[in-house]
Amino acid sequence: MAKIEITDLCKDFTTVQGTKTVHAVKHASLTVDDGQVVVIIGPSGSGKSTLLRSVNKLEEPTSGSIRIDGVEVTDPKTDLRRIREDVGMVFQSFNLFPHLSVLDNVTLAPRKVRGMGRKEAEELGMQLLTRVGLADKADSRPAQLSGGQQQRVAIARALAMKPKAMLFDEPTSALDPEMIKEVLDVMMMLAKEGMTMLLVTHEMGFARAAADKIVFMDSGEIIETGTPEEIFGNPKSERTRSFLNHIL
Amino acid sequence: MKDDNRIEEELKVESIRRKVVSVDSAALAAQTPKTITMTDGPLIPKKGEKHVLSSWRLTFIGAVVLLLALIIFKPEPYRQIFIVCIQGAPVTFEVTICAIIGAVVIGTFTGLGSVSSHRWINMISGVYVELIRGIPLLVQLIFIYYALGRFLHMEGMMAAIIALSICFGAYMGEIVRAGIQAIPKGQSEAATALGMTRTQTFIHVILPQTVKVVLPAIGNEFISMLKDSSLVSQLALADILRKGREYISRTFLSLETMLVVALIYLIFTLVLSRLVGMLEERLHKNG
């Protein structure tokens, strides 16, 4: 398993015209210990996703440092693919490959990246699909599945690389309410198995139940970090309190 | 599924953009932007579009019946004309098929170049596309043909095929570019996040999806190519039109000959457009 250390991370965006600079993330520092579940919450546009996407460098940070098991991600000499192989990611919009069957979605990366044989990969794939409760959909196309099912396939796809840590970028935000639970159940299962997880979510119930640590972000800054009891029971910052009052 | 339709719609618009006519720009600007698809490309009939299908049927049956009637009831001179002209068909098809393959190859590289992050490659693709788009096809064709002849001592069929490939490669490049860009960014992000290289991502994730969206557009180009291949009759190639014109110069039966030539092209084009329509339907069905 893995430890993620983010130190003093900044990310600036320049507008298309190049006239204005937006500070999406400002001097954020955060540590996810081995086997910990850390949930980032905050209003939309607060830089949560940008921070998360910096961890496997889908976003290029402007400055600061990110270490995964001591390996510096922002170092140009680091082999990013190695990092990405070991860090699974689940997206808000699933991003399944529509031209491949569900099983092929899961087995593509193990076969091409890890060089696993087809048979071995398919055994692993079926095992993972069984775990997320979708073994019977192995031959379906993603378009034939409901949103919740697609997201569970996406989780299985990430798990097929046997990641040491998982990133979740608002995994339930694009789902109908009745499908949220099935995805959260799978995530809860992973959390209980001791997977290192960093997630952005608006599901406060899940955050309260699964998180070891909650991070509240607003306008690019980390305002407050604490256990679920501290954040939900007794927030120190006024901004945290008003955000929670709004959504709870 | 809905998304797919939209992408294909956009692609179709892309492939016919060069033939789009805009009427009164002020009036157009006032309304919501509307594309007038005034294409000389095929009107592709799909199932469910009763109106289009029946107009396709009407034209097709009309053309076939007229051609047959002329040959059977007025064999003098139409039988002879038909026999002479149809001898050009193998050349027309050979040029069309070879040139479309050439254009797809050139177009794939041009399309990749257009989306490349490498500045110079990007620039070269851009200039090529602009250059080709700005010069009439006939002028390009004759120019490239003679240029190939003078500098590479290449003549006849080969030169004509290369010239057509270069001309159509630019449009094909734009289709491929639009096809690649139509694939949502999340797809390559997901592949990248799984640890795939850029090449792996392209081959296993982007390309298969691009092929599916650009196939109907390539079919359309094929039909345009079949028609525009008649321009090679300018280059001493014995295609359908050339055969007809040779016949005219011997017999002075201009109107009769051109009628048969037109009917032959029309029938070929209609059959092909139906085939492209069927291809599109199958692609839709396979989701």
ipTM of the complex in this document: 0.90
How many angstroms separate the CA atoms of B138 and B134, rounded? 12
pLDDT at B20 (0 to 100)? 40
In this structure, the answer to whether residues B270 and B215 fall within a common structural domain is no
Q: Which residue of A has its CA nearest to B208?
A: A99
In this structure, the answer to whether residues B213 and B275 fall within a common structural domain is no
Inter-residue contact A226 to A213 (CB < 8 Å): yes
In this structure, the answer to whether residues B176 and B55 fall within a common structural domain is no
Q: Is the dihedral of CA B187, A210, A9, A80 positive or negative?
A: negative
Residue B27 has pLDDT above 50, yes or no: no
Inter-chain CB proximity B190 and A144 less than 8 Å: no
In this structure, the answer to whether residues B174 and B54 fall within a common structural domain is no
| Percent residues over pLDDT 70 in chain B | 81
In this structure, the answer to whether residues B68 and B95 fall within a common structural domain is no
Place of tokens 């796809």: A157
pLDDT band at B153; cut points 50, 70, 90: confident
* Residues B129-137, mean pLDDT to the nearest whole number: 91
pLDDT at B287 (0 to 100)? 53
Say if B111 falls within a structural domain: yes
Inter-chain CB proximity A84 and B287 less than 8 Å: no
pLDDT at B165 (0 to 100)? 94
Total domains, chain B:
2
* Amino acid occupying residue A53: R
Say if B246 falls within a structural domain: no
Inter-chain CB proximity A95 and B208 less than 8 Å: no
Q: Which of A68, A183, A65, A78 is nearest to A132 (CA)?
A: A183
Residue B43 has pLDDT above 60, yes or no: no
* Amino acid occupying residue A50: T
Nearest-CA distance B258 → chain A (Å): 47
Looking at the partner chain, which of B194, B205, B212 has a beta carbon nearest the beta carbon of A161?
B194
pLDDT at B24 (0 to 100)? 41
pLDDT at A22 (0 to 100)? 87
How many angstroms separate the CA atoms of A68 and A75, rounded? 12
Which residues of chain A fall short of a pLDDT of 70?
Answer: 1
Residue B221 has pLDDT above 80, yes or no: yes
* Residues B139-154, mean pLDDT to the nearest whole number: 88
Nearest-CA distance A13 → chain B (Å): 18
Looking at the partner chain, which of A58, A93, A98 has a beta carbon nearest the beta carbon of B209?
A98
Residue B3 has pLDDT above 60, yes or no: no
Supply angle C-alpha B160, B161, B164, rounded to 5: 85
Residue B38's alpha-carbon distances to B12, B20, B25, B32, B129, in angstroms, are 12, 5, 16, 18, 22
At A199-236, the pLDDT tens digits run 999 999 999 999 999 999 999 999 999 999 999 999 99
How many angstroms separate the CA atoms of B195 and B200, rounded? 10
* Residues B205-233, mean pLDDT to the nearest whole number: 91
In this structure, the answer to whether residues B114 and B198 fall within a common structural domain is yes
Q: What is the CATH number of the domain that holds B135?
A: 1.10.3720.10
How many angstroms separate the CA atoms of A49 and A169, rounded? 6
pLDDT band at B108; cut points 50, 70, 90: very high
Instruction: Give the phi and the psi of residue A132 in degrees, each rounded to 5.
Output: -90, 5
Residues of chain A with Cβ-Cβ distance to B283 below 8 Å are: none
What SS3 class is residue B124?
Answer: helix
Place of tokens 């960014």: B185
Residue A29's alpha-carbon distances to A4, A36, A51, A220, A222, in angstroms, are 11, 16, 10, 12, 8
A109 touches chain B (CB under 8 A): yes
Inter-residue contact B275 to B226 (CB < 8 Å): no
Inter-chain CB proximity A95 and B287 less than 8 Å: no
In this structure, the answer to whether residues B51 and B101 fall within a common structural domain is no
pLDDT band at B14; cut points 50, 70, 90: low
Say if B186 falls within a structural domain: yes
How many angstroms separate the CA atoms of B17 and B36, rounded? 9
Instruction: Give the phi and the psi of residue A162 in degrees, each rounded to 5.
Output: 50, 60
In this structure, the answer to whether residues B98 and B225 fall within a common structural domain is yes
Peptide bond connecting B77 to the previous residue in cis, omega within 30 degrees of 0: yes
Say if B62 falls within a structural domain: yes
The whole domain housing B213 covers 90-237
How many angstroms separate the CA atoms of B214 and B112, rounded? 14
In this structure, the answer to whether residues B112 and B208 fall within a common structural domain is yes
The first and second tokens of residue A155, run together, are 């989780």
pLDDT band at B33; cut points 50, 70, 90: very low
Residue B104 has pLDDT above 50, yes or no: yes
Say if B127 falls within a structural domain: yes
pLDDT band at B12; cut points 50, 70, 90: low
In this structure, the answer to whether residues B139 and B223 fall within a common structural domain is yes
Q: Chain-centre distance of CA B156, in angstroms? A: 22
Tell me the residues of B at the A interface, defined by beta carbons under 8 Å apart: 1, 184, 186-187, 189-197, 200, 204-205, 208-209, 212, 287
Size of interface A-B (CB pairs under 8 A): 64
In this structure, the answer to whether residues B72 and B137 fall within a common structural domain is no
Q: Which residue of B has its CA nearest to A161?
A: B194
In this structure, the answer to whether residues B77 and B99 fall within a common structural domain is no
Say if B247 falls within a structural domain: no
* Amino acid occupying residue A75: D
pLDDT band at B29; cut points 50, 70, 90: very low
Say if B166 falls within a structural domain: yes
Say if B32 falls within a structural domain: no
Inter-chain CB proximity B195 and A141 less than 8 Å: no
CA end-to-end distance (rounded Å), chain B:
7
Residues of chain A with Cβ-Cβ distance to B205 below 8 Å are: 97
Interface test with B, best of A59, A82, A97 (most B CBs within 10 A): A97
pLDDT at B189 (0 to 100)? 95
pLDDT at B52 (0 to 100)? 63
A164 touches chain B (CB under 8 A): no
Residue B179 CB neighbours (<10 A): 29
